[in-house]
Chains A and B, each alone.
Chain A
Amino acid sequence: MKRSYSLKNTGTVMSFLLPSFIGFSIFVFAPMIMAVVLSFTNYSGGPKFRFVGFKNYVMAFSNPDFLSYLFVTFKFMLISVIFQIGLGLFFAILLSKQFRGCSTFRSIFYIPNILSSVAVGLAFMFIFEPSSGLINEFLAFIGLPTSKWLASEKSALNVIITIAIWQNFGYYMVLFIGGLQNISTTLYEAAEMDGANKFKQFIHVTIPGLSPILFYGITIAIIRGFQVFDYIYIMTGGQQGGGPAGSTNVLAFDIYLNAFTYFRFGYASAESVVLMLIILFVTYIQNRGQKRWVSYDVV
């Protein structure tokens, strides 16, 4: 009796799991394992390669550039996550209740997210142009000092972070609007009857109700932040080696250069594995922390 139940149960689980698991194991997991294996070789794209043990890892950690890429990556991740999530949440709350024109504002804030990266690259080039770009003209007009923006190793990374925030806060806004729709209005009514003000409602109703999606958003933002590649690639000229004097070189950019420009796939794989482990670690910490603030059952 028990056996047949568990067999039936296995069948049910399989019927839900398999559609995604087949694609996952063949096209995602298997290549991932391959990448891990290759990180212990001197693979350069061809059949002739040999195992080199931990050499790639040792090389990475003894290279001061690698550590500086890690630092830049971390900085990018931290700042962009804070602003993307913060602005996303702010505008989601402003625009979650229906009013005339709210749909237009939602669309406008989401548009940057749709725009192709080539167009983004060109548009921001005009805005941040060092001599007569729009920002500098504006700053000069209101009497503030101008900057060299992308042309200076001091500000280039901040410019790129700004662009990333501009393009992505709309994504998180949409995500959070979707999540906010799920919080029952009766909860707010009950809170109001208890005499809770707007701020208290936000802390005691909005945040707990949104927390599963908020947790998702933060996790995704962290992962994307760590893996940032395209902004660096577009804004600083792909093979011309990144921003001024290497100031914007993030780890994923170095991985790309090593894999497809220098043919050092083994080393690139090792860098990838290190990046994966770091993200895994950060996500793990965050996952441990979620028990304190993410509530799955309040709604």
Chain B
Amino acid sequence: MNLKKLLFISSISFLTMGLLFANGSSEESDSKDMNEGPVTISYYTWDDGCHQALIDEFNKTHTDIQVDGHILASADYETKLTTLLSGRADIDAFMEKRQSDVFSQYENGYLEPLDSYIEATGSKNQAVENFKSAVTIDDGIYQLPWRGGAYFTYFNKNVFEKAGIPTPDTYVENGEWTWEKFEEVSKAIHAADSSLIGSSIYMWGSQAFFKAGQEGDSIVTADGKIDNIENVVDILEMRKRLEDEGAMWNLIDMKVTKTHYSKQFYDGNLGMLLIGEWFPGQMVTGAADGLYDFDFEDWGITRLPCDREPYYTVGLPTSNCITSYSKKKQAAFEFINWMSGPEGSAIAAKYGVLPAASSEAAKQEIAKNLPDEKSVEYFLENRNNNTANFSPYATRVETEFAKLQEDYLLGNLTTDEFRTEFIDSLEEIIRTTY
């Protein structure tokens, strides 16, 4: 009886094993039929007006290559993409949503190195050059960025007027827009009128790594060493001081009330919001939908607070990858390379997206979405870009940090206890990654 059971279970598991790992082999044969008609590549991205427009425009302007776009829901895109790649679904190229996923995809051999394709074009790819460190793994390039990533200070001029203090760009011009100044200004706004909130830093774990990124700390380095965490602690302490005074949006409150940062800014009583390059697009749609009462000219953009010279911002680009098992790699490359080039960036700019490599046409488009000359200048200036917490450990580091950050903000941990526990959990993460 027991032998029978064992036999039954093992035969079913062998059957499954066969199904699981025999895949792919049957399709190797039909690879070289590139010459017959246009090549159709299968491309995966998520639901966004801009992505659809890029695919449509490419298909309209190309006859030899056609893109079959699979547009997935933005929610849980990562979960689905992971499942698809594990099952070797028919994907030639895809857009990466959670940037640190690239490490695991690289480890599993899903990604095609793009160096030789870029070389074959005969010139440097400006988008890659702008974000080199974010797309290189073990000296190979695995992603082509098309959307740039950078954080800014967005401010509401009315709030500053009410509080009777100069707007942040004044300090930027004087070279004194430091984190200390940011704290001082946040407090001054709330002190002037208690119905005003000085500033908001959103709840994502990555937002706490602004200063660490600017200073070039990695939290955990790619080869598994703990880096300097003092700049993380600095921002955390500042956040606690500001929250306790009511000068900053409370993190746990915004999480449980699902209060979006745009809603915080639309309400008109928030002085400063530190958020990414996509926000002008939301200000444009917000105005069209009548979601805020102040005028479009009443807000502005300037640099992120920064303690070092020269100025550094943080942010990761959004990129495209080619699968290692694709049979149409050259065609797939031509599509994603077009997306990163001048034509792609001009379309992206039309949708209020900051391209990874900007062209003159793109700049003119972008300027239309911004409130004033000064904002355009800061939004499009040449700047250095660093990223903290971009490693195979990144997602776990972020979640563990978020947990401890909440504990700290609730007053359950002292700064020293936070430090010890954070180091402990980083060690745990490094130890249990294999």
Contact = CB atoms under 8 A, between A and B. Distances in A.
B255 interface: yes
A42 interface: yes
Contacts of B82: 45, 260, 263
Nearest to A128: B256
A30 to B, nearest CB: 4
Contacts of A262: 395-396
A244 B13 contact: no
A57 to B, nearest CB: 13
Contacts of A137: none
B104 A45 contact: yes
Contacts of B16: 30-31, 33-34
A61 B410 CA distance: 28
A47 B108 contact: yes
B86 A46 contact: yes
A237 B255 contact: yes
B381 to A, nearest CB: 32
A47 B412 CA distance: 44
A55 B434 CA distance: 11
B47 to A, nearest CB: 16
A260 B78 contact: yes
B407 interface: yes
Contact of B399 (A44, A122, A257): A257
A260 B81 CA distance: 10
A139 interface: no
Q: Is the interface of B mostly helix, strand, loop or mixed?
A: helix
Contact of B434 (A30, A52, A151, A257): A52
A241 B13 contact: no
Contacts of A129: 256-257
B406 interface: yes
Given A31-B16, A125-B257, A130-B253, A63 B395 contact: no
B203 interface: yes
Contact of B432 (A44, A59, A149, A235): A59
A274 to B, nearest CB: 16
Contacts of A48: 107-109
Contact of A246 (B258, B396, B403): B403
Q: What 10 pairs across the A-B complex have the smallest Cβ distances?
A: A46-B108, A30-B16, A263-B104, A245-B407, A150-B256, A45-B86, A241-B399, A241-B402, A33-B13, A246-B403
Given A33-B16, A244-B406, A261-B395, A47 B256 contact: no
A151 B253 contact: yes
A241 B16 CA distance: 34
Contact of B406 (A37, A44, A245, A267): A245
A260 B406 contact: no
A267 B433 CA distance: 10
A147 to B, nearest CB: 12
B253 A131 contact: yes
Contact of B12 (A25, A122, A151, A261): A25
A34 B406 contact: no
Nearest to B85: A45
A239 interface: yes
A37 B16 CA distance: 11
26 contacts: A30-B19, A42-B434, A46-B85, A46-B86, A46-B107, A47-B109, A52-B434, A59-B432, A125-B256, A125-B257, A128-B256, A130-B253, A130-B256, A151-B253, A153-B412, A235-B256, A237-B203, A239-B399, A240-B203, A241-B400, A244-B406, A245-B404, A257-B399, A260-B79, A261-B399, A263-B82
B252 A33 contact: no
B410 A244 contact: yes
A30 B12 contact: yes
A34 B20 contact: yes
A244 B412 CA distance: 11
A30 B399 contact: no
Given A121-B258, A245-B410, 14 more contacts: A30-B13, A33-B9, A34-B16, A48-B109, A125-B256, A151-B252, A151-B253, A151-B256, A240-B399, A242-B403, A245-B406, A245-B407, A246-B403, A263-B104
Nearest to B10: A33
B266 to A, nearest CB: 18
A151 B101 CA distance: 30
Nearest to A36: B13
A281 interface: no
B232 to A, nearest CB: 16
A240 B255 contact: yes
A29 interface: yes
A111 B395 CA distance: 38
Given A245-B403, A257-B399, A260-B82, A125 B252 contact: no
Nearest to A121: B258
A49 to B, nearest CB: 9
Given A29-B12, A240-B203, A244-B406, A46 B395 contact: no
Contacts of B12: 25, 29-30, 33
Given A45-B82, A245-B407, A260-B79, A30 B15 contact: yes
Nearest to A52: B434
A150 B434 CA distance: 35
B200 to A, nearest CB: 16
A152 B410 CA distance: 8
Interface in A49-64: 52, 55, 59, 63
B110 interface: yes
B117 interface: no
B33 interface: no
Contacts of B85: 45-46
Contacts of B396: 262
B306 to A, nearest CB: 26
Interface in A114-143: 121-122, 125, 128-131
B396 to A, nearest CB: 5
B104 A44 contact: yes
Interface in A204-218: none
Interface in A247-299: 257, 260-263, 267
Which of A25, A37, A47 counts the most B-chain CB atoms under 10 A from its CB? A47
A125 B410 CA distance: 20
A67 to B, nearest CB: 14
